[in-house]
Structure formats: C-alpha cells, structure tokens
A and B are shown apart, each in its own frame.
Chain A
Amino acid sequence: MSRTITVEHLCRVEGHGGVTVELEGGAVKSVRMDIYEGLRFFESFLKRVPWADIPEVACRICAICSGVHNVVASLAIEDAFGVRVTEQVRLLRRLFVHGGNIESHALHIFLLALPDLVRPRCNSIIELAEDLPDPARIGLDLKKCGNEIQDLISGREIHPCNTTLGGFGRVPEKDVFKYLRDRLEAALENTRALVPLVGGLELPAYLTAEGTFIGIKPSGEAYGYMGDRIAASDGTVTDVRDYRRVTNEYTVPYSHAKFSAYKGKPYTVGALARVNLFGDLLHDGAKTTAGRLGFTTPVHNIFYNTVAQFIELVDSIEDSIQTIGAILADYAPDEPTPRIRPKAGRGTAGLEAPRGTLYHSYAFDADGRCTDVDIVTPTCQNLAAMERDIRAMVEANPAFSDEEIHFHAEMIVRAYDPCISCSVHLLNLGA
C-alpha cells in the first residue's frame, strides 16, 4: 500500500515551501522539501547594481536576515577592494549582528517554535500568551531588545539604512549605547526566568543519528559569529575563501533552492551546530545557562536547536554588553570612513547568520563593475538534513498516522528555523 503525505504550506516559517513524503508498503520511498518561493534572481540583477549600492540591495534577499546579508556583502566587497575598517566599525558591526541574532532567535523560539512544544499545543504567540503570559511577554520583549539594537545601530529593524561600505553613515550618540547597555542588562536578567520553561520542554527523542555540524570559527577568543575559517565537526578547517569546497551545492527538480552536501552527506548549520562546535567559548552566563538546561554537547537531535538558540540568545546579550563597553572606551563619533577605490578581483566573506553560515562572494572588473555573484545561504545548506531527519522520523515511528507524520514533518522543518526567502534568492545550474 502506498501513501503520500503532503504539507502544502509550511506554517510559522519564513517563506513559501512544503514537504512531500511518499511511503511504499510501510517503507519511506521519498522525502522532498518542495520549495516554491517565487523566483527573484538576485544573482542576476545584483550584477547591475553599482558596487557601493550592493549591500543595501543584497539585504533585500531576506528581512529576518537583512542585517547579516548587509554586513557580509560589505565584508566581501571590502575584501575584493582591499579596504580595512577601523576597530570601532568592527565593534559596531559585531553589536549590529548580535541585535539581529537576538531578534531572530527570540522570534523563532517564542513565535515560531514554542507553540508546538508547550502543552497544550497552540497555534501562535497570541494563543501562547493566553496560557503562558509571562514567557510570551518576556519573549516579545527580548525580540524588541534585538530590534532596538538593529534600529539604533543600523538605522532600521529591517533593511539597514545607516550602514555603508567601510563603516556607518553616522556613529550613534554615546547615550544610545548607554541606553542599550541598561536595556541589555535588564534583558539578561529576564532570560533567567525562562530557564525552567526552556529546560522543561518535551522534545521528541526519535532523532538519534549522528550528523556533521559546520560553522565559522569565531575570530577572537570569545564565542561569536564572525571569522574567516570554517570548522566542521569532523575536525577539518577550511578558509572562508574556499567555502565551495564545504558547501558543494547541487540542484533538485522540485525545489527553487539549491541543496548542499559535505563529503557527500547532509550537514547542519545554525545554533545547534555552533554550540556543538564552539560551546567551550561561550560567555560565563551562557555557559551557566547551558548547565542549568542540562545541555551537554554534542547534541545531535535538531529539536534541541531551539534550546541552543536560547543559550546563544544569552551569549549575544552578554557579548553585546561587553562590545558596548569597548565602543565607549574608545568612542570616536567623527571617525571618517575609508576612501574606497574599486579594483579587479574577487572578494569573499562568511558570517554566522542566526540560522547558520552565510557566504557572499563577488567578482569585479577594473572599473568596479560586478561580473559574478555567488551567495550560499544557511537554509540551502540545511535542506538535505531536513529531508534526512523527516525520513528518520517516519522510519522510527512506523505507527504514525498521516496526521502525525504531517505534524512532525512540519515541526522538524521548523526546528531548523528555515528562511525560505533566503534559500531561493538564487540557483546557478550553470556554475
């Protein structure tokens, strides 16, 4: 007997996609991530955009990830043109990336994932707020805190308008940083109240297989999202400029997004991958939080991605407070941005977006005209792992009804915190 279970439209995820599971006599015949997000051809039209405008157009790939798209595009173009930014710009970008991380993680944990995981289950944050008003309120406030960082540093919560190649249009006033520091300290305190809820979540335990995790190794001594080397859980380290050796993208006929494979197998990027790979670098509060949550690495079950995001949320708040301290210590409001002259060549950068590793790579001719664009998003890298895990779920639960397969497939996809707009920005079969 054959059965087909179709999730027409994944809910509580960003973008448009579905899942199809085909069973033949009880065995899984196929699992497909159907990604039908509208085609936008970013890699085609970005080549038309003057180099100075690329970061502000590239961020439109995705709203939730607009900050990291903007920063990584700037880093890649600065790499191509040999631009060196100041320490203050580096710190401001670090703080900006944390703002996006806090907002995105709070969005995923409280608005997208938790409604499945609390008992009784519910449909949205709105229903969640009826049963659990305090966690819902704190979750929304954490999300707002991340947005305030993005707004005050980058000019807007979505699609920055204070960022430019080489730096920022305007360095925010000292009072802004002091306000954010107070805000973050209060937010850090609030996260403590959520530990019992996050630690007590009943997460499905059927995903037991060991997989490969990949992430960008933090450049400094502390946990973070920026660096120039890619680390895999098998111990290999790759220069960011050679990211294609890690991502190995391929196409499938049922998806507008590319898939990735590392050494011929699916791999995972995102919060769970990062905490598994670099958990020993976490700040003290985040380490303590991980201990209270009983989180000991490595964890292979993707449902714990939500828990890893909570640990990272605490870490991002701690690191933001430290980063603000460093900005205020050498505050230079009138620092000029470097003069940029285009030159021929390729520039590449990687950055840890909230949902995993993001790469941008641009080639330019001597006049600064963009001749090639390659962007690899975290969700594309996770698609193969999602299919793997949905297959494992069906195989581990032969008694599941169609409704249960439907529900769990959607929950697995959601656990990866996918961003489908990002995944469908491009697909280059010719490459």
Chain B
Amino acid sequence: MDKPKIAVYGLTCCAGCQLNILNCEDELLELAAAVDIKSFIMAQTGNDDCEVDIAFVEGAVASQRNLEQLKGIRERAGLLIALGTGACWGCVQAMINDVPRKEILAEVYGKEVLDNPFFECFEPKPLRDFVKVDFEIVGCPIERSQFLQAVASLLHGDLPLLPTYAVCTDCKFRENECLLIERGERCLGPVTKAGCGARCPTNNLPCEGCRGPVFEANFASEVDVLLDKGFSIEEIKQAMGHFGGPPSDEALSARKFRGTELP
C-alpha cells in the first residue's frame, strides 16, 4: 500500500505550529518514514501541490491570497486539519477585528496604500468560517504530543480524541492552588480548552487563554467571578479577546452581572 500523502501549510501566523512539528526531534524521522510529505515549504524544497490524504493548515485566513490558497488546499485534501489557535480562532492578530481594516492600514502604513492591491487584507478569521474543517488541534502553539497522537489516529483511519474540557481540569490534576478563586488573579482557565497540562497556572501564572474557548464556555460566569475579584469589565473583555478576537456582547451578557452594563 502506498504511504498516506500529507502536506503542511501556513497562512497568517507566527509559524509556531509548523515549528512544533519540527520540534518533534525524536519522532521526526520516524514520522517522515510513515508518510509521503508532498508539501512542507518551511521544511523542504521540491514541493508538489498535488492531491493529498491529509493537509495540516496553521494560521488564520487574513487575505484573498490566504483564502484562495485555503480553497485550493480543501479541494486537494481528503482531510483538512486546522493546526493551532490561529487556524481555529484567529489568534492574537484577531484582537482588533472590531476595527475596520482601512482604519488600521491608514494608521500603520499610511493612506497611500489603501488602493494598493498588495496590501489587500481582511479581519483574520478561522478556517472553518470559509471551508469544511475535519478536525481542529488548538494551542498557541499546538502541543507536540497532541499532534503526534492526532497523526497516529489519522494514520489508523480514526479522528483523534483530544480534551474537550477546560484547563481547570488539567490544573486540578496538577494539584495547583486555584489562582482565580484563592488568589484573585485574572485566570482564564475555566473558559479555555484543556490539553496543555495547565502550563501557566503550574508556573504560578494565570491562564492567558491561548488555547481558545472550551466548548460551551461559560463566559458570563467567568466575568462574574472576575468582577467580584475587582477587575473592570474592560480589562476582562480585553483579556478574553487576546486569542480569539473580541468576545461578543451576546456571549458575555448571557447573565446580568451585578447591574454592570457592557460598555
């Protein structure tokens, strides 16, 4: 039987998820032997944009150029796997998605580039907003172990099983003191998808939410607790928007928090 054909692509991001594939130093050669890598621009020359069984795509979609590339990948790929918080949620560059691009372009590059097609761009968005995504591996960056586990499952014809619960669960397993309740820190563990082993809280630092929201995240309750601990609604909204774009007022106002009106 032929080896499964795979490809790794990067859209708009820091390239950290691709780098974390290359960071599988102990497994890289074995992994490469199990598959036929048709395209991995960051890691090899002689790439071929042909049909593949699995395409891994990191980064957000932030321009027509990105979008056309993504559509092409989707057409050529049996399975399309989104890698990382950029591909799944937009990541840090999405935190200003509430500001029109023209405004930012003019601020950053000057008004003269507004008509230059080379500077065409739009709000960074996750892959699933544009194409069917077969599986998402979150993380900023993805965890190497989860990538390897996912590849192993995929090569056996299964979709991977990764955590669907919140960072708090990981944190309890580590027997950490609760930074949110006990110390009153701005910890986003309760609304963030687990799988990192609660890296930040284990280092005495609050979860920054880099893995994006957990399924059915209870933002309103998190807001309630943080307001109780003395954070302002502006601070809370800002922190919650660092990795997945500004949280919607709808998500935040599912409950009425102590008469505080959203700004």
Which A residues contact B (CB, under 8 angstroms)? 9, 11-16, 36-45, 48-50, 53, 56-57, 60-64, 66, 107, 111, 115, 123-126, 129, 136, 140-141, 143-144, 147, 155-159, 161-162, 164, 168-170, 251, 253-254, 256, 410, 421, 426-430
A168 to B203, CA, bound (A): 8
A107 to B15, CA, bound (A): 14
The interface residues of chain B lying within 8 Å CB-to-CB of A40 are 12, 62, 92-93, 124
> What are the nearest 9 A-B pairs in CB distance?
A38-B12, A63-B16, A124-B44, A169-B203, A429-B110, A144-B25, A162-B203, A169-B205, A40-B93
Q: How far is the CB of B194 from chain A (nearest CB, A)?
A: 14
B79 within 8 A of A: no
A428 to B105, CA, bound (A): 10
A38:B205 contact, CB within 8 angstroms: no
A158:B25 contact, CB within 8 angstroms: no
A45-B95, A63-B20 given. 15 additional CB < 8 A pairs?
A9-B41, A11-B42, A12-B43, A38-B124, A40-B62, A62-B15, A63-B15, A63-B19, A63-B141, A107-B22, A111-B43, A144-B23, A157-B23, A170-B204, A421-B15
Task: Tell me which of B111-119, B129-137, B146-154, B212-220 binds A.
Answer: B111-119
A141:B25 contact, CB within 8 angstroms: yes
**Which of chain B's residues has its CB closest to A430's CB?**
B110
Q: How far is the CB of A332 from chain B (nearest CB, A)?
A: 15
Which B residues contact A (CB, under 8 angstroms)? 10-20, 22-23, 25-26, 28-29, 32, 37, 40-47, 59-60, 62-63, 65-66, 91-93, 95-96, 99, 104-105, 107-110, 112-113, 116, 118-119, 121, 124, 140-141, 144, 199-200, 202-205, 208, 210, 235, 238-239, 242
Contact of B62 among A14, A38, A123, A430 (CB under 8 A): A38
The interface residues of chain A lying within 8 Å CB-to-CB of B202 are 170
Q: A147-B23, A427-B109, A428-B108 are in contact. Are A253 and B199 (CB under 8 A)?
A: no
B203:A159 contact, CB within 8 angstroms: no
The interface residues of chain A lying within 8 Å CB-to-CB of B235 are 50
A251 to B199, CA, bound (A): 40
The interface residues of chain A lying within 8 Å CB-to-CB of B47 are 11
A55 to B18, CA, bound (A): 22
Q: How far is the CB of B204 from chain A (nearest CB, A)?
A: 4
The interface residues of chain A lying within 8 Å CB-to-CB of B144 are 157
B14:A123 contact, CB within 8 angstroms: no
B37:A126 contact, CB within 8 angstroms: yes
A15 to B42, CA, bound (A): 7
Q: How far is the CB of A411 from chain B (nearest CB, A)?
A: 10
A44:B14 contact, CB within 8 angstroms: no
Q: How far is the CB of A375 from chain B (nearest CB, A)?
A: 12
A161:B141 contact, CB within 8 angstroms: no
B19:A60 contact, CB within 8 angstroms: no
The interface residues of chain B lying within 8 Å CB-to-CB of A156 are 141, 199
A45:B112 contact, CB within 8 angstroms: no
A11:B141 contact, CB within 8 angstroms: no
A197 to B10, CA, bound (A): 32
B118:A254 contact, CB within 8 angstroms: yes
A136 to B29, CA, bound (A): 10
Q: How far is the CB of A244 from chain B (nearest CB, A)?
A: 17
The interface residues of chain B lying within 8 Å CB-to-CB of A66 are 14, 16
A129:B108 contact, CB within 8 angstroms: no
The interface residues of chain A lying within 8 Å CB-to-CB of B119 are 39, 256
The interface residues of chain A lying within 8 Å CB-to-CB of B11 are 38
Q: A11-B44, A44-B108, A126-B32 are in contact. Are A159 and B210 (CB under 8 A)?
A: yes
Contact of B59 among A38, A124, A251, A256 (CB under 8 A): A38
The interface residues of chain A lying within 8 Å CB-to-CB of B62 are 38-40
A161:B23 contact, CB within 8 angstroms: no
